Structure 1
Amino acid sequence: MAFSEKRGKGRDGRMRYRGRYKLPNGRWGSVSRDDQGKPFYTARSAEQYASGLETDVRRKAFINPRDGRMTVAEWTQHWLASIDVGPLSEKEYRLRIKNQILPEWGTVALGDLSPTGIAAWEKRLRLTLSKNYVDGITSVFRTMLDDAVAERLLVTNPVAARKSGRRGRYVPKVKDEKITATPRQVLLIARNGLSMRGLNEYAIVLASAYTGLRIGELAGVHRDQVELKDTGQGARLHSVQQSQYVNGAFTEIDNKYASGRGLILPPFLADLLGELMESRPDSEWVFTAPKGGRLLRGGDWYRETWHPMVSGRAPRGVVRGAKARAGIRPVLGVEGLTPHGLRHSQKVWLDEGRHPRVAVEARMGHVLPGVEGTYSHVTLKMELAIADYLQGLWKESLRPVVDRREFAPYPAFIPARRKRSPRNLPEVVAAV
């Protein structure tokens, strides 16, 4: 039976007590603070709290208060060692935890987490970060605490509890629409890539749009995984891995969602890939870096290559010894398009062509859910029809178009400003 005992006086001079209770293993446990972390100042309050814990033991709902004193940082170490996800997912989890969760909650005990405190933190994040990123952060935090509940370190998940009912202002659900491009706009982007970086950039834009493969998946395609000779079943590209930056080194891992697949290529793309491989006969990969090595895609590529291919670039003469460069016309109507938008574009094209859903989803690397996915199957006839349809879109995109939007002016060239020391700044600027 639970009881209380004196602990001595605290710094404030008040007597403190602790409760003693039987643990599930038959030993005696002790508790000196309540759920709010306040000490017990009376023998009765300590005994009542300990009695409640013994009741939880009998009901098999016992959570040891000492387990709740584990900090979020300590639990994170245990949790990360237990998860079994892909390398890219684990990398993203670690970044979200390191950059957002631990700075705010690392020193806080699991038992001290509250739904309102987490809700206020999430609200602050949404003021400066994108919705998708904040959703990803809270998703990781929620999963961490779900596992803490399963380990009986917490009674309930404070993140999940906040989601149990709608609270606050009503915000209608709006689908996050991706920017997509028409075949003609994809061709213009590819031509910009050709003039900026050569045949490889031209080919990878068209390959992403007309196969639906991600840039990382295209970067991982080896020469022997492409069958360009059509023997009646179409030229094929086999995507079985992707090239990604993992643990400080570029390596090859499985396709996202283990979606390895073979794709029939439209004839124009098969010819283009053959020309590309002939230009790099010594390369192991189909898509390469400018000198034939492994293709790497990082922040510099998005900023220095992809963005000008879509948004244009002003012509520039010789500046401080730097070579002159030609201007790049922007492709209007696709402002903000990302490389992943090329993949979305193919899905839109195939939907417009009314191709069987099972064949479209298979080409995208998706699994068709439900009864339809169980009883529908992809046939060679479906795949050839898709390749023929994409070939028709390509031919249509090559037709000359008299449209003022295709003759958009070059962006204005803004020269880099020289850095001045504070003493040389104009008075108005210095005052600000």
Structure 2
Amino acid sequence: MARRATDVYTEWRGGTCRVKWWSGEYLPSGRKRFESEGGFTDEDEAYDYGLDKMSEIRHGTGISNRDSATLMEDWIDDWFAATDHAYTTYKSYKAIINQHIRPYFTGKAVGEIDVIAYRAFRKHIQKKLPAAGSSRNVMTVLGMILDDAVPRLIKTSPVERKRQRGRYVKRTTRERKRDMDIAAVNQLACNAEVVFGYAGYVMIWTMAMTGMRPGELFGLRREYCYPNWPGSDPHPDEDEEERYAEDALRYGKGEGLMPAIRVQQQVQQEKGTLAEVSPKYYSYRTLVVPQFLADMLEKLLASHDNKWVFPAIGGGCLGSAAFSVDYWPHISKGSDERKKGPGRRNPRPAVPAVPDFAGKRMYLIRHGHKAWLDEGGHPRFAVESRMGHEVPGVEGTYSSVTVPMERAIMKSLQERWERFQEARDGS
């Protein structure tokens, strides 16, 4: 033993020097637990290294050798077990971890993942998943895993966000969209009526005029829809009694009231079972609707007694149906005439394709709704709130959606519908 002070000492072994320092922890026996680093050829350098380690421990920034040697697969398990996500997010993260992150980092310690290792994985995943959105999702999950390892297992996160060295790569490629033509929406609605009845027709117009997400549309129950709501609201939250009272004075059927839909839930598949859960990002909101749509919704609810406003062909929830396979392709891409015959149900006429939406996501109708609101010049806060988005900063804190704002939205959407009807009748 060559030197010793403040729980740091050095010793020579062969031709190199090793330094030991107290880790700040005790063994079960009550003795101090020491850590060490060897390979030094200069004793003063080794001793100073030990003093630096002790200083980090005193200031709470030290990482023990044992912690930094934690295997990535063990840290991933601990991290994932401590997260709390909605089921769809949980399922997505689990798939990303098991298919991409865990296999790549198996056998590697968390302390080994520096910026070079991070870049190597990014290059690997971009080659494996050329779609920018897919590779970006994987890197987002890895980023959270590594960020949360600080300061317990690593001092700083190797995740790069602001600067990226190397060859410039355009980060995102935006999905190409066309202006949403109301005539195309009308054709989608007519096609949907052929595919699954009047409920389909009204559902397409509801999405175009409210911007509701598909899961919110599929999960819309009659007690939250005009003309029943807000009188039929079950008042599930006792802390919301003030809002319930205000809703009764603002919305509904009658003179001076605005027809509206309440977005209170969405439906999702959870482990093979349909679940009614909170809207995405807990974006509970009230959506005023133009009068023509209010009339459609009233007619639709009078035509059936199903709990779902837009029931599937068999009467169940569209959330349990293979909507993206059995409904949307026929509505957007069109289909041939279906004649009655052995093993064939529900004969129907041919359905024309809608070029603006053929091969594209139904979700683009929601995007088109926002564009319509922007074209109408409505306040940003009113638009983002209607879309179910959180508005950050001072604007989000101090702004509110007023009755005049809602009436202006109703008016502009109603006028858009009336202009379309006049143009169609004139032709």
TM-score higher than 0.5: yes
Q: Which amino acid aligns with 1:28?
A: R
Corresponding residue SS for 1:339: coil
Provide the aligned C-alpha RMSD in A: 3.1
Q: CA shift at 1:110, angstroms?
A: 0.8
Q: What is the distance in 2 between the residues matched to 1:99 and 1:287? A: 36
Q: CA shift at 1:51, angstroms?
A: 5.4
TM-score of the superposed pair, with normalisation by structure 2: 0.79
Q: CA shift at 1:115, angstroms?
A: 2.4
Structure 1 residue 52 corresponds to structure 2 residue 53: no
1:225 corresponding residue in structure 2: 224
Q: What is the distance in 2 between the residues matched to 1:50 and 1:315? A: 85
Q: CA shift at 1:345, angstroms?
A: 0.7
8 Å contact kept, 1:211–1:263: yes
Q: CA shift at 1:4, angstroms?
A: 4.1
Q: Which amino acid aligns with 1:52?
A: Y
Q: CA shift at 1:64, angstroms?
A: 0.7
Which of 288, 313, 321 aligns to 1:264? It is: 288
Q: What is the distance in 1 between the residues matched to 2:16 and 2:195? A: 75
1:22 corresponding residue in structure 2: 22
8 Å contact kept, 2:285–2:388: yes
Corresponding residue SS for 2:390: coil
Structure 1 residue 189 corresponds to structure 2 residue 226: no
C-alpha distance 321-262 of structure 1, shift in aligned 2 (>3 A): closer
Number of residue pairs matched by the alignment: 383
Q: CA shift at 1:17, angstroms?
A: 8.8
Q: Gaps (5+ residues) in structure 2?
A: 1-7, 27-31, 228-252
Q: CA shift at 1:384, angstroms?
A: 1.6
Q: CA shift at 1:57, angstroms?
A: 2.2
C-alpha distance 380-116 of structure 1, shift in aligned 2 (>3 A): same
Q: What is the distance in 2 between the residues matched to 1:182 and 1:230? A: 32
Structure 1 residue 2 corresponds to structure 2 residue 3: no
Q: What is the distance in 2 between the residues matched to 1:224 and 1:116? A: 56
Q: What is the distance in 2 between the residues matched to 1:72 and 1:362? A: 40
Structure 1 residue 352 corresponds to structure 2 residue 375: yes
Q: What is the distance in 2 between the residues matched to 1:201 and 1:250? A: 20
Q: What is the distance in 2 between the residues matched to 1:144 and 1:279? A: 51
2:104 corresponding residue in structure 1: 104
Q: What is the distance in 2 between the residues matched to 1:356 and 1:368? A: 12
8 Å contact kept, 1:313–1:330: yes
1:201 corresponding residue in structure 2: 200
Q: What is the distance in 1 between the residues matched to 2:426 and 2:121? A: 53
C-alpha distance 348-51 of structure 1, shift in aligned 2 (>3 A): same
Corresponding residue SS for 2:21: strand
2:366 corresponding residue in structure 1: 343
2:177 corresponding residue in structure 1: 179
Which of 291, 297, 313 aligns to 2:335? It is: 313
Corresponding residue SS for 2:318: coil
Query: How big is each residue's C-alpha offset from its partner over 1:266-316, in whole Å with a ceiling of 9 and x where there is no partner?
Result: 1222222223223331x2221222222233166x42133212322223456
Q: What is the distance in 2 between the residues matched to 1:364 and 1:309? A: 24
Q: CA shift at 1:5, angstroms?
A: 6.9
Q: CA shift at 1:154, angstroms?
A: 1.0
Q: Which amino acid aligns with 1:58?
A: S
Q: What is the distance in 1 between the residues matched to 2:222 and 2:338? A: 37
2:5 corresponding residue in structure 1: none
Q: Which amino acid aligns with 1:171?
A: V
Query: How big is each residue's C-alpha offset from its partner over 1:238-281, in whole Å with a ceiling of 9 and x where there is no partner?
Result: 11111112344221221112211111111222222223223331
Structure 1 residue 279 corresponds to structure 2 residue 303: yes
Q: What is the distance in 1 between the residues matched to 2:380 and 2:91? A: 33
Query: How big is each residue's C-alpha offset from its partner over 1:155-186, in whole Å with a ceiling of 9 and x where there is no partner?
Result: 2222x1x4453212223566624635222111
Q: What is the distance in 2 between the residues matched to 1:347 and 1:157? A: 37
Q: What is the distance in 2 between the residues matched to 1:79 and 1:170? A: 32
C-alpha distance 317-224 of structure 1, shift in aligned 2 (>3 A): closer
1:419 corresponding residue in structure 2: none
C-alpha distance 387-402 of structure 1, shift in aligned 2 (>3 A): closer
8 Å contact kept, 2:132–2:173: no
Q: What is the distance in 1 between the residues matched to 2:314 and 2:391? A: 40
C-alpha distance 49-296 of structure 1, shift in aligned 2 (>3 A): farther
Structure 1 residue 331 corresponds to structure 2 residue 328: no
Q: Which amino acid aligns with 1:149?
A: V
Structure 1 residue 147 corresponds to structure 2 residue 170: no
Q: What is the distance in 2 between the residues matched to 1:304 and 1:47? A: 75
Q: Gaps (5+ residues) in structure 1?
A: 7-13, 33-39, 404-432
Q: CA shift at 1:81, angstroms?
A: 2.5
Query: How big is each residue's C-alpha offset from its partner over 1:5-26, in whole Å with a ceiling of 9 and x where there is no partner?
Result: 76xxxxxxx9999653211247
TM-score of the superposed pair, with normalisation by structure 1: 0.78
Q: What is the distance in 2 between the residues matched to 1:317 and 1:165? A: 60
1:389 corresponding residue in structure 2: 412
Q: Which amino acid aligns with 1:62?
A: G
Query: How big is each residue's C-alpha offset from its partner over 1:372-400, in whole Å with a ceiling of 9 and x where there is no partner?
Result: 44444322122122112212222333443
1:236 corresponding residue in structure 2: 260
Q: Which amino acid aligns with 1:255?
A: P
8 Å contact kept, 2:226–2:298: no
Q: What is the distance in 2 between the residues matched to 1:340 and 1:50? A: 63
1:9 corresponding residue in structure 2: none
Q: Structure 1 vs Structure 2: percent identity of aligned residues?
A: 30
C-alpha distance 114-354 of structure 1, shift in aligned 2 (>3 A): same
Corresponding residue SS for 1:233: coil
Structure 1 residue 132 corresponds to structure 2 residue 130: no
C-alpha distance 186-104 of structure 1, shift in aligned 2 (>3 A): same
1:302 corresponding residue in structure 2: 324
Query: How big is each residue's C-alpha offset from its partner over 1:177-230, in whole Å with a ceiling of 9 and x where there is no partner?
Result: 463522211111121111122222222221111111101112222211123224
8 Å contact kept, 2:336–2:349: yes
Q: Which amino acid aligns with 1:194?
A: E
8 Å contact kept, 1:18–1:30: no
